Chains A and B, each alone.
Chain A
């Protein structure tokens, strides 16, 4: 199951990377309205056909071409934001967990504060103040994503730092940096990677929600959430214009979730031998 998810993600990533080429090859309008070809004589979007495989949207643009371009935006935002959130969350979680005391209390308070904030309300306020742009969108997503990573990393570090192998390394004269890089990070990498792959679909949905509300990437540049938003008035006569972006969202979030589950299952039994894990992966 998780292998299928991994293959799907790889395909989606290829699509995202080569989207402009594919769109050129389709040579249908993706950004500019095309009322001449994309709408019939009554101004109704064209249904899926030999020319427009997934139909057209409310101004006659090709839905497939826009989904391809949207994949690029969506994946870029999701992956970069997830990496940034994991990086920040891991740093803060490690510092809070390792040093404890007042440092931990302060960081724990900040983490709880961020987790308690209502995402959409704050995101809308930020966009109203700073205007909508990719940068502001990603920054908002990162601010809301690092805290859960930090909380998880903190609790992992609290467990690991009490392990005898950390004490043994200390008595050998190791610096804190060495203990973190050599012993703590490798031991939390599994859960953090797993969480990261579960964070990506969350961010895809966050981005879709914000774009749906007009707070994300600005039209005519496509994102999946934005496509659903701009076509929602037409769903009764052109279901395809919101159905297919929805399917794209579903497939990608589902794949990342399944991959995350698979990673978690592969990493949870801590005592499992590495060789055997590899062999199992091969046989699956």
Chain B
């Protein structure tokens, strides 16, 4: 499989929710492409639409506008859509305590995909395959008869990963898969995900708010703010040369584990995220932006390449200043 093949893409997807007569735009006109075998990180503060985007990518939510394509084919709509998508795209959830049915044993949870897709594997081979999956994610196959409550958070997340792997999907959407885990366990789970990618060629959409996690696993990242992508590009490029003032703020907010280094707080993000019920006009970020100009509140900036063909940014001030 070539690295340039597109495994999953979102084209101009938007999602709006109605609450008490008001319309809340959770995801606004987002374009996204995930190539085979790569990891695309999505970062942003809570409530920026990351999880809604993830749900649309696996089909748990249907976009109001735009479409999600799996290997170039538009994702079907309707009740039975998961029968087709489930073998291509799977999801790993944030909270390992609610993502496993407490009444089923770990083995039953991992076997369920084969019971839903009966044709994938004959009954006689299922148990063996479940044992293999347990080993694959670093769990002892002897623990198949235990209930989720008998596992630790990290082990539970491994069960969730085994379930997602069962149908051999090309893409796994990970919605903050390590946010609920201890730091030491986070690294183990991330190493497992990286190992699976190397061995099985799986592509990840990896959602996180923790930038250090992102740098470990992502090839490319997209930074979201209030439902829109404000910057995207190769992970090193975005971290080393952040263009958008919001990205710079996020990176500066990461604590530096060095007491000698005085923290540079010049571009620390100020204020709160505006309510998505009343989005700011023009550039969504202008209310908190340290370099905002009067024109920023009038025009919505487009995501355009800047200084590097794959490094895209949506900021008129940044792109305008250098082109002049």
Contacts and interface: CB of A to CB of B under 8 A. Distances in A.
A164 B60 contact: no
B150 A273 contact: yes
Contacts of B150: 273
A187 B58 CA distance: 25
A172 B101 contact: no
Given A164-B95, A187-B102, A187-B103, A171 B112 contact: no
Contact of A187 (B82, B101, B163): B101
Contacts of A174: 82, 112, 116
Contacts of B113: 172
Interface residues of B, number: 31
A165 B90 contact: no
- Counting chain B CB atoms within 10 Å of each CB, the highest count among A172, A173, A183, A274 belongs to A172
Contacts, number: 73
B117 A173 contact: yes
Interface in A237-265: none
Contact of A165 (B82, B100, B149): B100
Contact of A172 (B98, B102, B112): B112
Bin the interface of chain A by size: 20 to 34
Contacts of A168: 91, 93, 99, 160, 163
B154 interface: no
Interface in A156-183: 163-165, 167-174, 178, 182-183
Question: Chain B at the A interface: mostly helix, strand, loop or mixed?
Answer: loop
A270 B100 CA distance: 13
Given A165-B101, A167-B93, A270-B102, A173 B82 contact: yes
Contacts of B186: none
A172 B82 contact: yes
Nearest to B90: A171
Contacts of B99: 163-165, 168
Contacts of A274: 147, 149
Interface in B138-177: 147, 149-150, 160, 163, 167
Contacts of A183: 101, 103-104
Interface of A: 163-165, 167-174, 178, 182-183, 186-187, 270-274
Given A183-B103, A183-B104, 16 more contacts: A164-B98, A167-B60, A169-B112, A170-B60, A171-B86, A171-B90, A172-B82, A172-B167, A173-B86, A173-B116, A174-B82, A187-B103, A270-B102, A271-B149, A272-B149, A273-B150
27 contacts: A164-B98, A164-B99, A167-B60, A168-B99, A168-B163, A169-B101, A169-B112, A170-B82, A171-B85, A171-B86, A171-B89, A171-B90, A171-B91, A172-B86, A172-B112, A172-B167, A174-B82, A178-B116, A182-B101, A182-B112, A183-B101, A183-B104, A186-B101, A187-B102, A271-B149, A273-B150, A274-B147
